[in-house]
C-alpha cells in the first residue's frame, strides 16, 4: 500500500475546494485501488491545497492520473491549478 501526498498550488482556494472535494469523493468511490483521499488546506500558505490519499499500489495511483475520473474533473479544476508536486511513500 502507498500514501500519496499531492501538494497543489491554486489561484483561488475557495473556488477550487468544492471541485477538489468532488474529485476526491469520486476517486474513493470509483477509482481502482483508491482507499481514501482527504483534501487539506494550509492556512499558513496562500493557495496551498494538499491531497492525502491511500492506494493499494503505486501502479493504481499512476494509472488513475489521466484516467476517466481524472479527466472528468480536471477541466473545471484546471482553471485554478498553478502547479503540483507528488510524493509517494510506501506504507509498511
Q: How confident is the model at residue 81 (pLDDT cuts 50, 70, 90)?
A: very high
Task: Give residue 80's pLDDT.
Answer: 98
Structural domain of 9 = 2-90
Domain count of the fold of the chain:
1
| CATH code of 47's domain | 3.30.70.100
pLDDT in tens, 44-55: 999 999 999 999
Report CA 17 to chain centroid distance, whole Å: 11
Among 6, 2, 15, smallest CA distance to 70 is for 6
Mean pLDDT for 19-40 is 98
Among 59, 60, 61, smallest CA distance to 4 is for 61
Amino acid at each position: 500500500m502507498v500514501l500519496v501526498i499531492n501538494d497543489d498550488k491554486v489561484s483561488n482556494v475557495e473556488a477550487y475546494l468544492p471541485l477538489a472535494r468532488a474529485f476526491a469523493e469520486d476517486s474513493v468511490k470509483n477509482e481502482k485501488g483508491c482507499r481514501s483521499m482527504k483534501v487539506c488546506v494550509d492556512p499558513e500558505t496562500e493557495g496551498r491545497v494538499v491531497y492525502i490519499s491511500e492506494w493499494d499500489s503505486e501502479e493504481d495511483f499512476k494509472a488513475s492520473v489521466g484516467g476517466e475520473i481524472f479527466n472528468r474533473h480536471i477541466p473545471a479544476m484546471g482553471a485554478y491549478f498553478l502547479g503540483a508536486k507528488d510524493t509517494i511513500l510506501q506504507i509498511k
